[in-house]
Amino acid sequence: MTLAPSHAAIWSIAALATLGVIVRPWRLPEFIWAVAGAALLVVLQLLPWRAALDAAGNGRDVYFFLIGMMLLAEVARKEGLFDWLAAFAVRHARGSAQRLFLIVYGVGTLVTVFLSNDATAVVLTPAVYAATRAAKVEPLPYLLVCAFIANAASFVLPISNPANLVVFGTQMPPLTVWLRVFALPSLLAIVITYLALRFTQRHALAAAKVADAGAIAPLSFGGRLAALGIAATAVVLLVASARDAELGLPTFVAGAVVTVLVVLIGRQSPLPILRDVAWSVLPLVGGLFILVEALNRTGALPALADLLREGVANTPQATAWLAGLGVAIASNLVNNLPMGLIAATTSHAAQVPPHVTGAILIGVDLGPNLSVTGSLATILWLIALRRENAHVTALEFLKLGIVVMPPALIVALAALILLAP
Give residue-wise pLDDT tens across range 303-313: 788 888 888 88
Q: Is the pLDDT assigned to residue 339 strictly greater than 50?
A: yes
* Residue 378 domain flag: yes
* Residue 98 domain flag: yes
Cα–Cα distance for residue pair 149/114, rounded to 1 Å: 13
Cα–Cα distance for residue pair 229/114, rounded to 1 Å: 14
* Residue 66 domain flag: no
* Residue 14 domain flag: no
Q: Mean pLDDT score of the chain, rounded to an integer?
A: 84
* Residue 106 domain flag: yes
pLDDT of residue 36: 92
Q: Is the pLDDT assigned to residue 1 strictly greater than 50?
A: no
**Range(s) of the domain holding residue 197:** 28-57+81-218+278-418
Q: Average pLDDT, stretch 9-36?
A: 80
* Residue 250 domain flag: no
Cα–Cα distance for residue pair 151/329, rounded to 1 Å: 14
Cα–Cα distance for residue pair 155/167, rounded to 1 Å: 11
> What residue spans of 26-152 are helical by DSSP H?
30-43, 49-57, 60-78, 81-93, 97-115, 117-119, 125-135, 140-152
End-to-end CA distance of the chain: 37
* Residue 344 domain flag: yes
**Res. 215 pLDDT band, cuts 50 70 90:** low
DSSP state of 78: H
* Residue 21 domain flag: no
List, in order, residues 6 or more apart from 383 with CB less than 8 Å away.
278, 280, 281
Cα–Cα distance for residue pair 187/150, rounded to 1 Å: 14
266: nearest Cα among 207, 223, 316: 223
Are the C-beta atoms of residues 372 and 382 closer than 8 Å to each other? Answer: yes
Q: Average pLDDT, stretch 115-128?
A: 82
129: nearest Cα among 88, 83, 94: 83
Is pTM beyond 0.75 here? yes
**Res. 213 pLDDT band, cuts 50 70 90:** low
Q: Tell me how many domains the chain contains.
A: 1
Per DSSP, the residues of 354-399 read HHHHHHHHHHHHHGGGGSTTSSHHHHHHHHHHHHTT----HHHHHH
pLDDT of residue 4: 66
